[in-house]
Amino acid sequence: MSFATARRPQLVVALVALIVAAAPLTHAQQATAARGPTRPMQPADLKAWKNIRTPALSNDGKWFAYVLAPNEGDASVIIR
């Protein structure tokens, strides 16, 4: 048995793994293309950006609270 013949199953497995791994990327690229062109962020987008800060879950798991705050301005406490 030659070296090339012994390595053939490993090569086939590697190629199949590569194809399977690349399939979701292709699907994601198609989904992005279907949404249309993207636009650069504008100053108004940055002003509207908000962060979730200090999330907390109650001991019984029924309540969830967090602070929703923009980079500048007043924050809100959300309890769900």
10-33 per-position pLDDT tens digit: 777 777 776 767 666 566 666 666
Name beta bridge partners: 78: 66
Q: Residue 66: is its pLDDT beyond 70?
A: yes
In a shared domain, residues 54 and 76: yes
Task: Please state the separation of Cα 24 from the chain's center in Å.
Answer: 13
In a shared domain, residues 54 and 80: yes
In a shared domain, residues 14 and 31: yes
User: With bands split at pLDDT 50, 70 and 90, how would you rate the model's confidence at 78?
Assistant: very high
Model pTM score: 0.47
* Amino acid 17: pLDDT: 74
- Cα four-point dihedral sign 53, 75, 68, 73: negative
In a shared domain, residues 62 and 30: no
In a shared domain, residues 13 and 29: yes
Number of domains in the chain: 2
Mean pLDDT of 60-77: 92
Residue 55's domain comprises 43-80
* Amino acid 72: pLDDT: 82
Instruction: State the chain's mean pLDDT as an integer.
Output: 79
